[in-house]
Amino acid sequence: MELEFSMKPIIETDSKLIPVICGLSRASLEDIVRIENLSDRPAWNEKLFAQEFANQHSHIFGARVEGQLVGFLVCHCLADEAHILKFGVLPQYRRKGIGRSILCHVIRDLHANTAKWVTLEVRRSNHVAQSLYHSVGFTEVGIRERYYSDDGEDALVMSLNVAHFIDEHGDHPHLENDVNGTQRAFHLF
């Protein structure tokens, strides 16, 4: 069942939207596919996302702004490792902190579930996504040559040490360490 919130879930701070991050159910499938089609190539279809909802190792998170699903992240977690498979944000909500909010929430959730490492692939040409991943502590650990089936582009493999993320950003979902190491609120619900 999808989580519902009775409080208004958005606050604007420094032109960045603060979304409500929640686990998603199959009820969000149509919205996920719509975001995916605007976010990635080659895009997954509804059947592939439906399979993720049936996969015991899959975790599917979403970001809602005023009740509307504006972003999602799909990852697998097995033992102490997690892998981000899909991550998308509606174009009009990009570069507003939505992706960072989802990513940080998921990393904290994975930490609470004993994950020690998170990995992902990103297109070599996707410098915006790489910048986001670097900003939370991901580092490049390899290259998958000709990884993407649509155009043969290489993928950078990136990895994050979850303990280092927690040391840097804090483990409370409503607090984040600032540049001086002091925790400050960044989600206000």
| Catalytic residue annotation | 121, 133
What is the SS3 assignment for 109? helix
Taking the mean position of all CA atoms in its chain, how far away is CA 21?
A: 10
Sign of the dihedral defined by the CA atoms of residues 79, 82, 86, 90, in that order: positive
| Cα–Cα distance measured from residue 98 to residue 167, given in angstroms and rounded to the nearest whole number | 22
- What pairs with residue 106 in β-bridges? none
Full DSSP string of 13-80: ETTEE-PEEEE--GGGHHHHHHHHHHH-SSPP-HHHHHHHHH-TTEEEEEEEETTEEEEEEEEEEETT
Residue 162 CA, chain-centre distance (Å), reads 14
d(CA 189, CA 181): 23
Q: Which residue has the tokens 């502590």?
A: 137
